Structure 1
Amino acid sequence: MSYHTLRETFIPELGTPRKGKVRDIYENGKTLALISSDRVSIFDRILEQPIQDKGKILTELSLFWFEKTKDIIQNHIISHPDPNVIIVKKCEPIMVEMIVRGYLVGSMWRDYAAGKRTKCGIAIPESLKENDPLPTPIVTPTTKSVEGHDEDITKEELIQQGIVSADLWNKLEKTSLELYQRGQEIVNQRGMILVDTKYEFGLDEEDQLVLIDEIHTPDSSRYWYVKDVERKQIRFPDKEFVREWGRSQGFTGDGKVPVLPEEIMLEVSRSYKEIYHNITGQSIGDESFNIPDRLICNLRREKLIKGVYCHLVLGSEVDRPHAEKITKVLEEHGIPHEITVASAHKNTKKVIELIDNFNQSLEPVVFITIAGRSNALSGVFAANTHWPVIACPPFKDKSDYLVNIHSTLQMPSNVPVLTVIEPENAALAAMRILKVMEVK
């Protein structure tokens, strides 16, 4: 893992995220935390290699555009605690992506070259060439697919299928064209052209239309430079560059995802920074911080998380009263925690999945395992995680003590289980360990 890129996030305090192609989404009542990773996707498939600073650029550029367009439509932004994170108002997403096109490029040009003269029910004039401007910008909606490919759809089909009402469609279309026009006006002043772009909308608690997700980023938009158009040497400094590379490898979404070469990764990072600088006048420097640590510190500073976590794992439900003696102390000291019941013998797959998941945690974790008899649970955790494991086995009497404690103490080499008898002491030990591990 490179600490100067952010491919995945897991922050136990915030729960299990919903993972989009680029963003990890954490729900918290009426708000969402959107964490923009450095992942890159083409043709609805995520590439393995992250692009340095990509998530930060998407976040900062979206914030720029949200500010520049807030007089057109309200957006979902609440706060911006970290370069890769925005806290937003939770809205009910409208399941349609509003694509606004000003030029004959991409899939629209490929369809046109094949003889097709309509796009999403809109007639396209004859005698156009690739990259020609359309007579007027058009809105070509697509379905918003949770899995698989988004599909073109007409406004009539959207209304007939009950995805949107006629009145809502009119608002979406009008707002999308106004946003595109505003974007075009601003980038034209910077020697750029907004070729096409995508908008997503939602409805808030008051049923008001809200702009969500991102806006005018190089992930959601195609850009040209005016000087390139004048020279007739058009290049795409945005994600279209990666799509073109994918096509050159014979990849359009099916089959094995190709490996992104380092030179392509560096070029994409450079191009995204160039777009950001040209539009905002600001620069994105190379990341000098350990990004996971920076993210955790910023979220903790804004009191969105504590920055530490304790996970209790019980071998059986009958161990819960014992565990509750531990959680009582953790609660008194404000330590975030949860309890999972999973026997190493009977729920082995669940245990391994749990370990694998928490091994990805960006914030420090201490496991407290509670199991008696042949205590495989503690050993399995300690052998397969890099986080500390404290065993606190339950026992009823002296004979039970001899069996349970000794089975916990007798761990093989390279299986560092710490054994604590008293539940309250187990909690205090976990707290002290977390204090040492706390990200500074």
Structure 2
Amino acid sequence: MATPKEVGGYKLGGLIIEGKTKQVFDLPDVPGHVLLLNKDRITAGDGVKAHDLEGKAAISNQTNAKVFEILKSAGINTAYVKIASPTAFLSKKCDMIPIEWVTRRLATGSFLKRNPGVPEGFRFTPPKQETFYKDDANHDPQWSEEQIVCAKFNINGLTIGQDEVDYMRKATILVFEILEKAWALRDCALIDMKIEFGVDTEGNILLADVIDSDSWRLWPSGDKRLMVDKQVYRNLATVTAADLDVVKRNFGWVKDQLDFLKPNVHHKVVIFMGSPADQDHCQKIAKAARELGLSVDLRVTSAHKATEETLRIMQQYEDTHGALVFIAVAGRSNGLGPVLSGNTSYPVINCPPPSDKMVQDIWSSLSVPSGLGCATVIYPDSAALMAAQIIGLQDYIVWARLRVKQLHMAHALRQADQKLRNQV
């Protein structure tokens, strides 16, 4: 493949690395970034089987971009930046960790050969996670986590130890589960997939490389006979032009289906405040909710002083939203939450505003009549998190943001603990 001088308006520097299906170039005018250029090439068996496939580079580039946009919207830390040309994309510059992280939902392929006695289709709950050392000469041997830790890889100044391995394992499974939920919207089963991580110049671990139809097994309707991934090519004993056309059509179908993997739930979190004096408290709830990707409205109404108006507003939202949560902000004999709960089938969360009579206000929110199901929390971020958990039952991106938040909190604690241990 000839080496271009410029792609998508970006002046190319030196060729950093060339693989079977892509080239990676330095970008002298964009410090800290590289350009990944896809090839019209498909390979299998560590490159033993290889064919030119016109149009594959553009299909792979768009597939990768759409996948990474889903993952970025969920909050996953990625090296991917944006598409640079029909066949190339811009990425943060990373040194790659030489490990493939494979996640499996169903037993198939090489797993069956390595684990005789396990029937094809055996379902892993939770997903099975495996690691393989990138070594083409030895066919990417499977490695244990202990081997990775003991290798003491130093990548961009970061030594890969147990903390880093734990983070990548959890992130790998989360990436799989996000995309599994996404593909379920199109009645497609994500069977397994592989990803790789890199370390940027600041020592951050990022999801990197490429995720396209070479990276996973995908079975429409969960039927192996309908597979639309690279396995179709792997299974070919001989390869004709017609066979390559089928593979290309499959890849194109996957690329097009990714446009329909955005959540289609019209949700809303409505924060009712009993008095405009509670607005600061409500804005804190709204800010925390919006950071989780929730659509939020704030309304002022009183269940005691304007019951009919309160119910009218509530019914307006019931008529126009599929996923809906009401948050009631009221103290001093809270009637707002119970009135909403008694007249809707949607969840209601009480979050009384701070006051010098907080204990009494909390009690008035907790002590509701029988037959009502209000929840009560004290802190604004707790109300937002609970609303997100409810909406996340129907919107996988909101669910994913919660999971990513948990992952980052746990990793930050591990980093803080590691820093403290290193000081001793």
Which residue of 45, 51, 54 corresponds with 2:53? Answer: 51
Q: What is the aligned partner in structure 2 of residue 337 from structure 1? A: none
Q: Once the 2 structures are TM-superposed, how far is the Cα of residue 148 of structure 1 from its aligned partner?
A: 5.2
| Matched residue type, 2:248 | S
Note the 1:105-254 alignment, pairs <5 A: 105-113=108-116, 115=117, 128-145=118-135, 149-163=139-153, 164-215=160-211, 217-226=212-221, 229=223, 234-245=225-236, 248=237
The change in CA–CA distance for 1:33 and 1:281 in structure 2 (over 3 A counts) is: same
Contact 2:63 2:213 in 1 (8 A): no
TM-score, normalised relative to structure 1: 0.53
The residue aligned with 1:10 is: 3
Contact (CA 8 Å) 1:72, 1:179: kept in 2 or not?
Answer: no
Determine if contact 2:66/2:258 at 8 Å carries over to the other structure: no
Shift of 1:78: 3.0
Alignment of 1:389-408 (within 5 A): none
CA displacement 1:291-316 (0-9 Å, x = unmatched)? xxxxxxxxxxxxxxxxxxxxxxxxxx
* Counterpart contact for 2:190–2:216, Cα < 8 Å: yes
Q: Structure 1 residue runs of 4+, over 3 Å off?
A: none
Residue 15 (structure 1) shift: 4.9
Aligned residue runs from structure 1 range 280-291, under 5 A: 280-281=259-260
Question: Given residue 223 of structure 1, which amino acid in structure 2 is its aligned partner?
Answer: L
- For residue 234 of structure 1, give the secondary structure of its aligned residue in structure 2: helix
Tell me how far 1:60 sits from its aligned partner: 1.0
* Cα distance in 1, alignment partners of residues 52 and 106 from structure 2: 30
Deviations 1:54-103 (A, max 9, x none): 11121111111111112342211233221111121101211211111111
Counterpart mapping for 1:30-429 below 5 A: 30-45=32-47, 47-70=49-72, 71-113=74-116, 115=117, 128-145=118-135, 149-163=139-153, 164-215=160-211, 217-226=212-221, 229=223, 234-245=225-236, 248=237, 260-281=239-260
Instruction: Give the counterpart letter for 2:81 in structure 1.
Output: I
CA distance in 1, matches of 2:208, 2:36: 11
**CA contact under 8 A between 1:40 and 1:46: conserved in structure 2?**
no
- Deviation, structure 1 residue 9: 3.8
CA RMSD for the aligned pairs?
2.0
1:25 aligns with 2:24: yes
2:98 maps to a residue whose letter is M
- Tell me if structure 1 keeps the 8 A contact 2:79–2:207: yes
Instruction: Give the aligned residue type for 1:36.
Output: N
SS in 2 for 1:141: strand
Question: Residues 108 and 83 of structure 1: is their aligned pair in 2 closer, same or farther, counting only changes over 3 Å?
Answer: same
Q: Find the aligned partners of 2:98 and 2:109 in 1 and give their Cα distance.
A: 23
Which residue number in structure 1 is paired with residue 360 of structure 2?
none
Post-superposition offset of 1:48 = 4.8
User: Which residue identity does 2:184 align to in structure 1?
Assistant: N
Question: Structure 1 residue 267: deviation in Å?
Answer: 0.6
Shift of 1:16: 5.2
Given that 1:39 and 1:46 are in contact with CA atoms closer than 8 Å, whether structure 2 keeps it comes out as no
8 Å CA contact 2:102–2:192 kept in 1: the answer is: yes
Deviation at 1:20, TM superposition (A): 0.5
Q: Specify the code of the residue in structure 2 equivalent to 1:35.
A: L
Correspondence for 1:325: none
Contact preservation (8 Å) 1:92, 1:204: yes
How many residues were matched structurally?
245
Q: Distance in 2 between matches of 1:41 and 1:133?
A: 28
**CA–CA distance in 2 between the matches of 1:151 and 1:33?**
29
Unpaired runs of 5+ residues, structure 2, are: 7-11, 154-159, 262-424
Report the Cα offset of residue 204 of structure 1. Answer: 1.2
1:112 maps to amino acid: N
1:249-308 superposed Cα distances (whole Å, 9 cap, x missing partner)? 5xxxxxxxxxx31011101001111112223249xxxxxxxxxxxxxxxxxxxxxxxxxx
Q: RCO (CA 8 Å, sep 6+): is it higher in 1 or 2?
A: 1
Identity of aligned residues (%): 22
Scaled by the length of structure 2, the TM-score of the pair is: 0.54
Q: Residue type of the partner of 1:142? A: F
The secondary structure found in structure 2 opposite 1:222 is: strand
Deviation at 1:53, TM superposition (A): 2.0
Q: Identify the residue that residue 328 of structure 2 maps to in structure 1.
A: none
Task: Name the SS of the counterpart of 1:193 in structure 2.
Answer: strand
Is the 1:9–1:24 contact (alpha carbons within 8 Å) kept by the matching residues of 2?
A: no
